[in-house]
Amino acid sequence: MPPEESKPIDPKSSEEAVEEAIAELQKAESTDDEAETADTIATDGASVASSSAAKKKKSKKKKLKDVLIGTKDGTDTRKLSSGQLEQILELNPSLKAEMADTDPKEAQELLRKLNMADLLTGLTVGGKNQKDMASYKFWQTQPVPSFEDKGAVEEGPIKTVDPEKIPNEPSPLYEGFEWVTMDLENPSELEEVHHLLRDHYVEDDEAMFRFNYSPAFLDWALKAPGWRKEWHVGVRATASRKLVAFISGIPIRLRVRKITLSCSEINFLCIHKKLRSKRLAPVLIKEITRRCYRVGIFQAIYIAGVVLPKPVATCRYFHRSLDWEKLHEVGFSPLPPGSTPNRQILKYKLPEHTETHGLRSMEAKDVDSVLDLLERYLGRIDMAQSFTKEEVAHWLLNRESDPSNQVVWSYVVEDSQTKKITDFFSFYCLESTVIGSKKYSAIRAAYLFYYATESAFDSDLSRLKPRLNKLMRDVLILAKKANFDVFNALTLMDNPLFLESQKFGAGDGQLHYYLYNYRTPTIAGGVDQKNVVSEQYTGGVGVVML
């Protein structure tokens, strides 16, 4: 599931992206009121204090820019002075905490080795979405590839785990907090996880939107076939019993080229905003790792919106407006220069009816056919989840009787003569809370999920692009009829074949895919440096769509 909020961006602004990022970093970071510490949460769960911001001097901005990206003549400016080092660390509280006991010369050497993207990771921008995991010292202790891995590497596990050395009990927590295993079959505990994520999970940098995973969504996402209760890990304040942190995993089989791994998919790492400086994220990661090791699972896949060591693939968000007027009113979609609201509404207008013959909702009787088509389709790419019949039924069939709780929509195309399933597609619902709007409380967003088509196996691949465009046109029509405001997709699988044609616009969010305890040459890169999809498309991006 997507771990980062994203909004459309103006393609003309891409050349100024670095300048804007540096400018944002010159705003003083938002900080919690020091008097309201973790002890406050332990007793009454107080909310986050309001923050203030102030701009730095222009000369300081130039110095930081020179440190991060170098001078125009290519001179190496990474020989940091003590003042410049302190400046970077002040903007990156997580990294500063990790390097508190590090010799200044060693710290300087570590920063010098990081490229621009690495240095920007974890830097606070207005204090929003500060990523505690963005400190590299922790990841240097974990079985993950490093940024120094270059060229050909041997594919396989990074370290062998001795089952006899796996601790039976979790590491101790700070005084006043304790480990718990959340029982998501208990509606009240499921609601607690929902509330924690609703109030403290991912929001955009301007604090305008925040993901709002419904209880029905969490029930769907966290209880896949084979799910384990002990992989739903929480931290409670001992006195108040308030849930203040959470991390989860579900079992999957992940195919990496020709090797299939038994993995856990790690998701929903969330920490109460008042505890972000307490270094809980590494503790949660270690605990979910221990629980996976205890049942013989030694690899994991996870996704983040920040650059960590070391992604196997990177994808960019793309957004397709379905209700442009609403999206503009809440500040999600800007009005392009030279355009008008009426032009934008007309631009994104869709037909009333779908065009694909044989298109209908997916039913239980279609599971075997969809599984066969999906497995063959995913077999074309380098890394993807390998599905069972039970998993296809779980992930793709709507099981909610109440339409207001529906999470996933799936459709098949059945040939009228052969009765064969030739295509299928799916999308799921993830709302975002609109923060501060008096008119709208939420944006209803559809996310493209799994799809497959027999056209991918034709000897003449020229049919694939028009077929996908026709199917995705119908996807947008169906999503519009289901009252969605925006349709989101990523630059993976065969998506670049239709994103531009179907009027998707580039967003400001990226997703980075990682394998834990498994080293592999980079799978694919996505279209992460461009704001438009390349016309010269050469193949599907080989990553799993989770």
Q: How far apart are CA 48 and CA 39, in angstroms?
A: 13
Specify the 3-state DSSP secondary structure of 544. coil
Q: How far apart are CA 238 and CA 41, in angstroms?
A: 10
Phi, psi (deg, nearest 5) at residue 422: -100, -20
Query: Among residues 364, 424, 404, which one has the least CA distance to residue 217?
Result: 404
Helix (H) or strand (E) holding 344, with range, is helix 341-347
Catalytic residues: 546
Q: How far apart are CA 283 and CA 279, in angstroms?
A: 7
Query: Among residues 25, 239, 55, 51, which one has the least CA distance to residue 121?
Result: 25
Q: How many CB atoms lie within 10 A of CB 283?
A: 22
Phi, psi (deg, nearest 5) at residue 505: -110, 145
Beta strands in 313-453 (DSSP E): 313-321, 359-361, 383-386, 408-414, 421-434, 442-453
Give ∠ CA 101-107-113 in degrees, rounded to 5: 150
Token pair of 485 as six digits: 């405001």
Asked whether the beta carbons of 430 and 423 are under 8 A apart, the reply is no
Distances in whole angstroms, Cα of residue 208 to Cα of each of 69, 82, 255: 29, 36, 38
Cα 14 to chain centroid distance, Å, stands at: 21
Cα four-point dihedral sign 329, 334, 338, 343: negative
